[in-house]
């Protein structure tokens, strides 16, 4: 009898992840596991943990590059902590790579970056990365997609072409089940040959264009008995901008969680984009309002709230010279000279204020 698996696909961290549905699902899964007497599980993340760089019009991608891995590490840590607080030990974390996770940022794939991030948080020896995973004892193959070269997600159910591919995989690997994500829909179909089954699980990406609302996870009890887990509630999007800001706040919470627990508390990162946030309303076209900024400070990084930067700009604009402004920023915000200068630089870069002359004394 194999260890029970909790399978979560398609988190798409960095995009509009439905953190609320995910929370419902994790708590509901914990209730089901406890009711079934399960005290240990393996956590299987079934690909597309990351969203990468906004390759398509539907991708919002609020944070980019390795920052997605740091947010994902914080999110996974929250999932593990939540399950273990209920008395369910997470033994191994198995990350099956999806097409998004294989993309390279800052010299390594995002899945490698996530592995390093989790190891930094103390998970070394518990996390494994694979292109696919076979639970040989239970006869289950886990992979991100049934069709690796399919035209995309959002197929309604398991298509005949997908079922043909699943049937080939079942025969090839000698398994009873093939479990996949990628299509963002629940699906369960008998193989075209023999006794096997194909299962697909929806993800947690909010798509405002298509209005997809399937969410859920899968429990494989004792490794080979499928139990579907769906949230009892779903969110209704009323204000898209407000939703995006809520998701962004969640992402920053998970980045901070990673940074607080990481053995590298000030993780250096050669990011190309220093700012994360939202465009202004259409009437202010061309202007950007940033919720957060990620500052490079020597070989360190610092996350700064956008409201603080607005305050910096207000102070800076109230003085005639940069020197006077920086001195006042140091006093008001209780920061040192280097940090005050960084705040001013980033505020200027964002267009919150315009650079002004230094005083004659400072120039000397």
Per residue in 173-187, pLDDT (tens digit) is: 999 999 999 888 888
127 lies in some domain: yes
State which of 229, 255, 287 marks the end of a domain: 229
Q: In whole angstroms, what is the distance from residue 29 CA to residue 356 CA?
A: 57
246 lies in some domain: no
181 lies in some domain: yes
Q: In whole angstroms, what is the distance from residue 277 CA to residue 279 CA?
A: 7
Q: In whole angstroms, what is the distance from residue 50 CA to residue 99 CA?
A: 9
288 lies in some domain: yes
**Per-residue pLDDT, 239:** 75
If asked whether residues 29 and 152 sit together in one domain, one would say: yes
pLDDT of 284 strictly over 60 = no
Q: In whole angstroms, what is the distance from residue 87 CA to residue 244 CA?
A: 33
CA distances from 69 to 49, 117, 259 (A): 9, 7, 12
pLDDT band at 40, cuts 50/70/90?
Answer: very high
If asked whether residues 354 and 215 sit together in one domain, one would say: no
Kindly report the CATH number assigned to the domain that includes residue 213: 3.60.21.10
265 lies in some domain: no
Q: Over range 165-170, report the average pLDDT.
A: 91
If asked whether residues 86 and 222 sit together in one domain, one would say: yes
Average pLDDT, the chain: 81
pLDDT of 143 strictly over 70 = yes
If asked whether residues 278 and 225 sit together in one domain, one would say: no
Which range of 166-175, 191-200, 203-212 scores highest in mean pLDDT? It is 166-175
If asked whether residues 16 and 110 sit together in one domain, one would say: yes
If asked whether residues 312 and 223 sit together in one domain, one would say: no
Strand ranges inside 40-193, DSSP E: 40-45, 89-96, 104-105, 108-109, 127-130, 132-135, 140-143, 177-180, 187-190
**Per-residue pLDDT, 217:** 95
pLDDT of 269 strictly over 50 = no
pLDDT of 295 strictly over 80 = no
With pLDDT > 70 as the criterion, what percentage of the chain qualifies?
A: 76
If asked whether residues 97 and 194 sit together in one domain, one would say: yes
**Per-residue pLDDT, 6:** 98
311 lies in some domain: yes
CB 16 within 8 A of CB 206: yes
The domain of 35 spans 4-229
If asked whether residues 29 and 150 sit together in one domain, one would say: yes
If asked whether residues 211 and 281 sit together in one domain, one would say: no
If asked whether residues 299 and 217 sit together in one domain, one would say: no
**Per-residue pLDDT, 56:** 47
pLDDT band at 45, cuts 50/70/90?
Answer: very high
Q: Over range 277-285, report the average pLDDT.
A: 49
328 lies in some domain: yes
- pTM higher than 0.85, yes or no? no
If asked whether residues 204 and 331 sit together in one domain, one would say: no
Q: In whole angstroms, what is the distance from residue 76 CA to residue 124 CA?
A: 14
302 lies in some domain: yes
Q: Count of H helices and E strands in the chain?
A: 9, 16
If asked whether residues 79 and 225 sit together in one domain, one would say: yes
State which of 229, 262, 290 marks the end of a domain: 229
Q: pLDDT digit string (tens) for 325-357?
A: 999 999 999 989 988 888 888 788 777 788 886
pLDDT of 232 strictly over 50 = yes
Number of domains in the chain: 2
CB 290 within 8 A of CB 309: yes
């Amino acid at each position: 009898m194999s260890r029970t698996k909790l399978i979560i696909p398609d988190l798409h961290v960095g995009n509009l992840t439905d953190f609320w549905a995910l929370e419902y699902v994790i708590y509901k899964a914990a209730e089901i596991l406890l009711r079934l007497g399960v005290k240990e599980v393996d956590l299987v993340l079934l690909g597309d943990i990351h969203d990468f760089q906004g390759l398509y019009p539907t991708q919002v991608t609020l944070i980019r590059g390795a920052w997605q891995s740091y947010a994902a590490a914080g999110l996974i840590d929250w999932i593990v902590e939540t399950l273990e607080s209920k008395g369910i030990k997470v033994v191994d974390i198995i990350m099956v790579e999806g097409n998004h996770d294989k993309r390279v940022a800052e010299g390594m794939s995002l899945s490698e970056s996530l592995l390093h991030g989790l190891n930094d948080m103390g998970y070394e020896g518990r996390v494994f990365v694979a292109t696919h995973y076979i639970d040989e004892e239970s006869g289950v193959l886990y992979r991100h997609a049934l069709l690796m070269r399919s035209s995309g997600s959002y197929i309604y159910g398991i298509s005949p072409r997908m079922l043909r591919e699943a049937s080939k995989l079942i025969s090839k690997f000698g398994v009873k089940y093939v479990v996949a994500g990628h299509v963002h829909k629940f699906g369960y179909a008998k193989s075209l040959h023999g006794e096997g089954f194909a299962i697909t699980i929806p993800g947690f990406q909010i798509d405002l264009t298509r209005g997809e609302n399937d969410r859920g996870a899968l429990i494989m009890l004792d490794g080979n008995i499928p139990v579907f887990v769906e949230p009892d509630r779903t969110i209704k999007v009323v204000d898209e901008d407000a939703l995006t800001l809520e998701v962004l706040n969640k992402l920053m919470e998970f980045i901070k969680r990673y940074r607080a627990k990481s053995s590298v508390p000030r993780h250096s990162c050669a990011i190309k984009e220093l700012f994360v946030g939202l465009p202004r309303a259409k009437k202010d076209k061309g202007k950007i309002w940033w919720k957060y900024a990620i500052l490079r400070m020597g070989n360190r990084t610092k996350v700064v709230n956008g409201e603080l930067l607005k305050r910096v700009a207000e102070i800076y604009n109230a003085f005639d010279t940069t020197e006077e402004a920086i001195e006042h920023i140091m006093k008001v915000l209780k920061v040192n000279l280097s940090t005050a200068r960084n705040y001013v630089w980033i505020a200027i870069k964002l267009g919150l204020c315009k650079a002004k002359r230094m005083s004659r004394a400072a120039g000397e």
